[in-house]
Amino acid sequence: MKLVKHTGGRFVFQLTTREQRLFMGVTGLYPVIPAGARKLVRQIGSAQSAQIDESQHLLEEALAEQRGANQRHLAEFLGDPQRVHTTKSYTRLTFAAAEMEWLLQVLNDIRVGSWMHLGSPDYEAEKRLQVTEENVQHYWAREMAGAFQSVLLAAMDASQ
Q: Cα-flanking dihedrals φ and ψ of residue 29, to 5°?
A: -85, -15
> 9 with 155: CB under 8 angstroms?
no
| pLDDT higher than 70, residue 121 | yes
Helix (H, G, I), strand (E, B) or coil at 89: coil
pLDDT at position 58 is 87
**Strand 2-7, strand 84-86: pairing:** unpaired
> 3 with 11: CB under 8 angstroms?
yes
Of 54, 157, 38, 50, the residue nearest 109 (C-alpha): 38
Of 62, 23, 38, the residue nearest 113 (C-alpha): 38
Domain residue limits at 114 = 2-158
Q: What is the pTM of this model?
A: 0.87
CA 66 vs. chain centroid, Å, equals: 13
Number of domains in the chain: 1
**Strand 84-86, strand 90-96: pairing:** antiparallel
Query: For 1, how many CA atoms within 13 A lie in the half-sphere containing its CB?
Result: 24
The model's confidence at residue 144, banded by pLDDT at 50, 70 and 90, is: very high
pLDDT digits (tens, 9 = 90+) for 6-44: 998 899 999 999 999 999 999 999 999 887 765 655 555
pLDDT digits (tens, 9 = 90+) for 48-85: 677 777 777 888 899 889 999 999 999 999 999 999 99
